[in-house]
Copies of this chain bind each other. A is one copy, B any other.
């Protein structure tokens, strides 16, 4: 079990009017690694640097996630924000549902609970039809139609662990993620069922062209551990 030493540095991640002070240098590559968020904080997060701009009209986002946070606790699972908008946020809501927000009202899914064991979770969305689905352990939820015609804006910031709030970078402990995230990948198109199932079972699939865990560029902040996946 090896834990990477975090090389400390100080940077400023400014997105238009919105700022977050980063205390970590960029690192690359998370093959066979897990991000462990051990405590509830309002300062621990990981910024992910995409391989290409995130102006999107379709996407597939996959990750493996485990948490012991109680059901009634809101949890941010993925946050992509530009200056004025929460462009693509995924939450576990207080009522246990998993939600997906793009610039305003979200859409809500009843999925099996997140547990202390890893859940393989994907989200697919396509602007043309608005068809939206979560995929749990390779099984698709019922489709919902959500914001057909919408576009996700580029030039924002992706965070794991915290929700970059409307109020200039304000982070809230009660929304923070506690647990583990690994194998996050993102594509700018909708993967087929067979590809999503292949990813779920750890088989070879086309590398994410927005995020590829093995080549992930990331910045650790606060109390986040990078641990061998064991």
Contact = CB atoms under 8 A, between A and B. Distances in A.
A225 B227 CA distance: 42
Contacts of A126: 1
A192 B229 CA distance: 10
A140 interface: yes
A83 interface: no
A180 B36 CA distance: 34
Interface string A105-122: 000011100011110000
B3 A129 contact: yes
Nearest to A223: B145
Contact of A66 (B38, B67, B142): B142
A129 B225 contact: yes
What copy number does this chain have within its complex?
Answer: 3
A51 interface: no
Interface residues of A, number: 38
A229 B192 CA distance: 10
A72 interface: no
Contacts of A115: 110
A139 B117 contact: yes
A150 B118 CA distance: 28
Contacts of A36: 131, 143, 145
Contact of A38 (B111, B145, B227): B145
A66 to B, nearest CB: 4
A144 interface: yes
A179 interface: yes
Contact of A190 (B1, B67, B134, B179): B1
Contacts of A144: 38, 68
Contacts of A52: none
Interface string A48-67: 00000000000000000011
B1 A129 contact: yes
A141 interface: yes
Interface in A165-207: 179-180, 190, 192-193
9 contacts: A38-B144, A39-B145, A68-B110, A109-B116, A116-B141, A118-B139, A129-B225, A143-B180, A145-B225
